[in-house]
Amino acid sequence: MSDPFVKSKALMVAVTFWAVSSLPAAGASARLETEGLKAPGVATALHLAFQLPTLLEGVVSPAEEDEAVQLETVRLRRLMVDLGYLDADISVAHEDGQVVLKPLPGRLYSVGSIELKGVRRSDFGPDVVSDLAETVRDFVGRAATAEASESLVRRIVERIGRQDFPLVRQRELTWKRGADGVAAATLDLDTGPRLHFGEVVFRGLRRLNEADIRRAVPFRPGDRYERALFEKLRLNLSALKTVSDFSIDLKDDGNGGLGMDIRVHEAPPDLSVLADAGWPALVSGLAALVALAVTQLAGQAGVSRRRLRPMIWAATACVLTFAVTVVPRLVAFLS
């Protein structure tokens, strides 16, 4: 049985196997025989993932060789299972001083049925039930690959968690192989309790005003949980220039609410705000200092207050100009 889905994904899976391995390609102490494989994409994937020659380099005992061979056979078998060959095996032989691995893929399985365990139909409205049924139908008939499994779990969990069930998670996905090459999947889920939005607690605030940052919360305690609103909260927090990073911890508060503990990392102050005050602030500030200094020296020298009045007025005007120019920027800087 040949499935175009497997052919198109075999190289991708193989490259993943190769990328996570730090071992380079190497010598001729072992070889992989794939001449009997009918699916060329699978053969290519196995050759890309094959690392036994390198694993055998430096091996000095039969026990170490057996361990290296066992490790490689487990890796290659896992690759074939991920490609939908659930009965796959690897035979090991010794020929002409070499370790020879021969893949035995067996039958390519397709998805025959999908059971959602732990999901009660009465917990959901007709729209959700219809969407789940459509997702199941979409995967029936596909090759039973690891990528198909991951996509199935992701779509089911996303749909259930869109409203009311924010803590839904996967317990286990198992496959039961049939004699006709069709596998039955059982997806065991923990939907968690039905929750509404609960209290939102902000932590890590130092300069920021909690009332200001709380404006980013698009819901109130008691509102129905919707993932769209939760994602909007994340977007609102990400858009704040005063916040450099944040993390959100979700928990059941025990009263039917979804509590959120948000730890905020404040962005450093923007010094450019003060720099933008420009030359009016600089001139008025210097003039105020000079006027105040002259006034004080003149007073100490015995000059009468009446004669110093124009200088006092000038100093006051400079101080007021400086305040009007700088104080708003200082407030913005501190906020």
- pLDDT of residue 13 exceeding 70, the answer is no
pTM: 0.68
Sequence-distant (6+) residues with CB within 8 A of 271 are 333
Burial of 85 (0-12, 13-18, 19+ CB in 10 A): buried
Q: Whats the size of the chain, residue-wise?
A: 335
Nearest-10 crossing angle of helices 278-300, 305-334: 140
40-86 pLDDT, tens digit per residue, is 788 999 999 999 998 888 887 889 999 999 999 999 999 999 999 99
| Strand 30-32 versus strand 98-104 pairing type | parallel
| Calculated CA dihedral for residues 295, 299, 301, 303, nearest 10 degrees | 100
Yes or no: say if 56 and 28 are a contact pair by the CB < 8 Å rule.
no
Name which residue leads in pLDDT, 272 or 121: 121
Name which residue leads in pLDDT, 111 or 301: 111
Q: What is the DSSP string of 170-207?
A: EEEEEEEE-TTSEEEEEEEEE-----EEEEEEEE--SS
- pLDDT of residue 256 exceeding 80, the answer is yes
pLDDT at position 327 is 58
pLDDT at position 208 is 86
CA distance 69 to 51: 10
pLDDT at position 312 is 72
pLDDT at position 281 is 59
Q: What is the DSSP string of 250-314?
A: EEE-SSSEEEEEEEEEEPPP-THHHHTTHHHHHHHHHHHHHHHHHHHHHHHTT--HHHHHHHHHH
Q: State the CB neighbour count (10 A cutoff) for residue 150.
A: 12
Confidence of residue 126 (pLDDT cuts 50, 70, 90): very high
260-290 pLDDT, tens digit per residue, is 999 999 988 765 554 555 556 556 666 667 7
CA distance 136 to 128: 12
Phi and psi at residue 90, to the nearest 5°: -130, 125
Yes or no: say if 65 and 59 are a contact pair by the CB < 8 Å rule.
yes
Phi and psi at residue 209, to the nearest 5°: -85, 125
Q: Which CA distances in Å does 243 have to 75, 108, 205, 207, 334?
A: 44, 51, 10, 11, 14
Structure-block tokens of residue 155: 């779509």
